Structure 1
C-alpha cells in the first residue's frame, strides 16, 4: 500500500489524468464493459445512482459532441462553397474590368466587400467557442430536427396512403 505519510493532493484534472494512465495500463488497450467500469467506480466510493447519472450525462454530451462534429463538417463545406463562388465570380469581374478598361477600377468594390463577408464567415466557422457559433449551431440543430420530423411524417403519410389505396 502507498505510504500514508505522503499526503500529496491532486486537482480534479490531475486525478483524471492519473486514472486514465492507470486504466490504460490495466486494460492494455481493451474496452471495458459497463459492469467493469461500475466496479472500478464502486471501489472508489461512487454510488450506483451517481455512476448511472454520470453515464447518462456522458452519453448526452457524446450525442451533442457528435452533432457538433456534423455541424462543423456542414459549416466547412458551406465555407468552401462560398470561397469557390467568391473566387470564380471575382476573377471574372476583375478580368472583365481589366479587359474593358485596362485597369482594376470598379471590380475592386465587390472584391473587397464580398471578401470581408468571406473573412467574417471564416472567422465564425473556426471559432467554435463563440456566441455566434453557438447560435448557428442551435439554429442548425433545430432545422435538422424539423427536417427529421418532416421526413418521418411524410413516410407515415406515404405508408398510410399506400395501404389505403391497396
Structure 2
C-alpha cells in the first residue's frame, strides 16, 4: 500500500491513535479492557473482579483475532502483489530488531509494566471529561518511542497472539 515503509513515527502514532479511538469506543462499556495484561494488572491491585478476568481475556483474544481477519480482508489485493513474507507477517505481529529471547522478553515485560503503571496513574488523576482516551493514546506513543524499537512493542498479549493465529 502507499503506507509501506512509512517509518517508525507513523507506526507509533497510528497505534496510539488507534488505541485512543478504541478506548473512546468501548471505555463506557467495558472500562476499555483491551489488553489481558491490563485486566490482570487491575485484578492484582483490586480494581477489577477476578471472576470476570477469564471472560474478558477471551473477549480480548477473539476481538484481536477478528480485527486481524478484517485487516487481512482490507488488504486482500495487496497480498498477491507482495512477495516479502516478512512484510506480510509484520502486518499481523511484532518482531524483534535483534532476536534475543531474554532481552526481548525483558523489553516486552518492561513496556507492559510501564503501560499498566501509566494506566493506573491516568486513572488516579482527574482529567476533563473525554480526555482520558487521548492521554492513553499518548501513553502508547510514548512507550513506542522510548521502548518499542527493540521488539516492535506488542505490550498486549491479545494484540500479538490473536493476529498471529489469524495469520496462519
Higher-helix-fraction structure: 1
**Common fold: TM-score over 0.5:** no
- Structure with higher RCO (Cα < 8 A, 6+ apart): 2
TM-score scaled to structure 2, two decimals? Answer: 0.29
User: Rg: which structure is higher?
Assistant: 1
The normalised TM-score by structure 1 is 0.29
